[in-house]
A and B are shown apart, each in its own frame.
Chain A
Amino acid sequence: MQQETLLPCRKVFSDTLFELAKEDRDIVVLTSDSRGSASVENFAKYLPDQFIEVGIAEQNLVSIASGLAGCGKKPFVFSPACFLSTRSIEQIKIDVAYTNRNVKLIGVSGGVSYGPLGSTHHSVEDIAFMRAIPNMTVILPADINQTRILVKKLVSHSGPVYVRMGRNPVEDVYSSQEDIPFEIGKANILREGKDVAIIATGEVVRIAYEAGLLLREKGINARIIDMHTVKPIDEEIIVDSARKTKLIVTVEEHNVKGGLGSAVAEVVVRNFPVKMVIIGINDQFAVTGSQMEILKYYGITREDICNTVVERLKRI
């Protein structure tokens, strides 16, 4: 799991899409004055017929995409996740999901990756909002290698999808060399273990994986799961983990209410109730600081996750 250069997922997403868009002229990219943060300048420059700038108008942004999809286009809507998932929520609900249009909503600089800019720029409710909408698929890639494959899958996938990525480069979870298993709705087991299952989504999967390595040093075998698709969630792997381990811990860069932890709990409680710990932003407008400082404050580091698991297992 070494890598040569660190790139943010949003950059890899856009570059991959750009290459595909050269061949597939129905791909249209839309932004709300976010071409820089979405890294889609290439579209504006080299594929202007496949690029639509709408200005700072996120409601219009999403409805226009719905209209384009209604005429057979494959719109990819790029906007910071904080604005896309809240300012446009009714347009997403009605014009994209209810109408069931093939619109891909790409939330960039998500979670707390805009760190010091404050809660206006954080999106730690987006998973909750999006997964409450019928017809919506919700995906958080873990690294650039998975992102690359995700983009290829999305181009041939029909229907509404919300993707959330962060602003900053993340260390790899997957190798860039191998064929990475990636199927929408099918989680990946990164490491097997029988004592505890740690289920994470998005760019904190790497942290969860590292927590697993620390736990191994303490003699605890953790099963580590990358739940890249939060909806539809992989129920089978959750139930299997509930049966095979004593504890399920979820990790997300999101409010502890309504996100991955809630989605996993919904499956656990219906099928095979086990104890759970939900690690995330503790239902408050997050403190400000760098992304890493914020994650540390809420216990989303490998050391904190490791300690949380050790302490919780003592009480089982």
Chain B
Amino acid sequence: MDIEYLEKKAKEIRRTAVEMIYKAKSGHIGGSLSSVDILVTLYYIILRVDPKRPDWPDRDRFILSKGHSVEGYYAILADLGFIEKEELDTYCRFNSCLTGHPTVKVPGVEANTGSLGHGLSIGVGMALAGKIDKKDYKVYVLMGDGEQAEGSVWEASMCASHYKLDNLVGIVDRNKLQIGGSTEYVMSLEDLSAKWKAFGWKVIEVDGHSIRELIEVFESIPISPNKPTLIVAHTVKGKGVSFIENRAEWHHKIPNNEEFLEMVKELS
């Protein structure tokens, strides 16, 4: 699969995500768009998953710990055939499986997330199970940068290196913004890489919008034997729509009709 195709795919997923949010009048647009290139790289290149067998025991596991970035995630699951594309129209509707934060009712989803700081611990459990069963699957957990303030992230971090979980990959969508402003204003994270290194992880920083760079890094994991890998993916909140990029207020703002049309235009 060439990079150009994946970049097109990412644009298409962004467009679908924006359409879902606009139709549902609900969602988290900024963080969804910042995660899309990471998700596309994982789901179209890296992850060993089979939409026909979502419970395949040897599958790689992916956990969206920043559960609010759900629209791009659902769009990808639909594009790959885990769910029907028509189901996307039910997003956030009454009694739909496609709630505003993902649940295991949706085929392909591994954990109910939405409250931050849980995903990495669940990933540790899945990685431990893989070690116990001597399986070669990997576990990927995508976290937000604001999420890094949750203490439980560091409980999991400490535990993953203690158990030498080189089958576990943490990714931080480092878009530098959270709902209340910049991460450094709300609660300073830097030096984030140094923190993860100090907790015993192999840390790599990448451009989270460069699919080429992301593939290269993911394919080289584990980079250090016996160490879990943490990828700090530098991203732009709202990536792909110029007028919402790097704007904290677009964390979960819903576009009006005019804004929506402009978004679709930019993503076409």
**Chain A residues proximal to chain B, CB less than 8 Å:** 28, 49-50, 52, 54-55, 57, 59-60, 62-73, 75, 90-91, 94-95, 98-100
Supposing A60-B121, A64-B122, A67-B124 touch, asked if A95 and B129 sit within 8 A by C-beta, the answer is no
Instruction: Tell me the complex Cα distance, A52–B125, Å.
Output: 10
Q: Would you call A98 and B103 a contact (CB within 8 A)? A: yes
Contact digits for B116-132, partner A, Cβ 8 Å, 1 yes 0 no: 01100111111111101
Q: Would you call A72 and B115 a contact (CB within 8 A)? A: no
Q: Is B104 engaged at the interface, CB distance under 8 Å to the other chain?
A: yes
Q: Which residue of B lies closest to A91 (CB)?
A: B118
Q: Which residue of B lies closest to A103 (CB)?
A: B125
Supposing A59-B152, A68-B128 touch, asked if A98 and B121 sit within 8 A by C-beta, the answer is no
Supposing A91-B118, A95-B118 touch, asked if A65 and B112 sit within 8 A by C-beta, the answer is no
Contact digits for B129-144, partner A, Cβ 8 Å, 1 yes 0 no: 1101100000000000
Contact of B152 among A50, A60, A66, A98 (CB under 8 A): A60
Q: Would you call B151 and A59 a contact (CB within 8 A)? A: yes
Supposing A28-B132, A55-B159, A99-B112 touch, asked if A64 and B118 sit within 8 A by C-beta, the answer is no
> How far apart are B70's CB and chain A's nearest CB, in angstroms?
15
Q: Which residue of B lies closest to A93 (CB)?
A: B115
> How far apart are B64's CB and chain A's nearest CB, in angstroms?
13
Residues on B with C-beta less than 8 A from A98 are 103, 112
Instruction: Tell me the complex Cα distance, A64–B112, Å.
Output: 13
Q: A90-B118, A98-B112 are in contact. List 11 more A-B contacts (CB 8 A).
A: A28-B132, A54-B159, A55-B162, A57-B158, A59-B151, A60-B156, A64-B124, A64-B156, A67-B111, A67-B129, A70-B129
Residues on B with C-beta less than 8 A from A60 are 121, 124, 152, 155-156, 159
Instruction: Tell me the complex Cα distance, A153–B252, Å.
Output: 46
Q: Would you call A49 and B132 a contact (CB within 8 A)? A: yes
Supposing A94-B115, A99-B112 touch, asked if A72 and B57 sit within 8 A by C-beta, the answer is yes
Supposing A60-B152, A60-B159 touch, asked if A68 and B126 sit within 8 A by C-beta, the answer is yes
Q: Is B166 engaged at the interface, CB distance under 8 Å to the other chain?
A: no
- Most B C-beta atoms less than 10 A away, residue of A28, A69, A94, A98: A94
Instruction: Tell me the complex Cα distance, A218–B85, Å.
Output: 73
Q: Would you call B132 and A73 a contact (CB within 8 A)? A: yes
Supposing A66-B111, A71-B133 touch, asked if A55 and B158 sit within 8 A by C-beta, the answer is yes
Q: How many A-B residue pairs have CB under 8 A?
A: 101
**Chain B residues proximal to chain A, CB less than 8 Å:** 57, 61, 103-104, 110-115, 117-118, 121-130, 132-133, 151-152, 155-156, 158-159, 162
Residues on A with C-beta less than 8 A from B129 are 67-68, 70-73
Main secondary structure, interface of A, reads: helix
Residues on B with C-beta less than 8 A from A72 are 57, 129
Residues on B with C-beta less than 8 A from A69 are 125
> How far apart are B169's CB and chain A's nearest CB, in angstroms?
14
Residues on B with C-beta less than 8 A from A55 are 155, 158-159, 162
Residues on B with C-beta less than 8 A from A57 are 152, 155, 158-159
- 8 pairs from A and B in contact (CB 8 Å cutoff): A60-B152, A60-B155, A60-B156, A67-B123, A67-B127, A67-B128, A68-B126, A68-B128
> How far apart are A14's CB and chain B's nearest CB, in angstroms?
20
Supposing A95-B111, A98-B103, A98-B112 touch, asked if A67 and B122 sit within 8 A by C-beta, the answer is yes
Contact of B111 among A50, A52, A75, A99 (CB under 8 A): A99
Residues on B with C-beta less than 8 A from A70 are 61, 104, 110-111, 122, 125-126, 129
Residues on B with C-beta less than 8 A from A52 are 128
Residues on A with C-beta less than 8 A from B123 are 67
Q: Would you call A71 and B130 a contact (CB within 8 A)? A: yes
Q: Would you call B57 and A59 a contact (CB within 8 A)? A: no
Q: Would you call B132 and A66 a contact (CB within 8 A)? A: no
Q: Would you call B115 and A64 a contact (CB within 8 A)? A: no
Residues on A with C-beta less than 8 A from B110 are 70
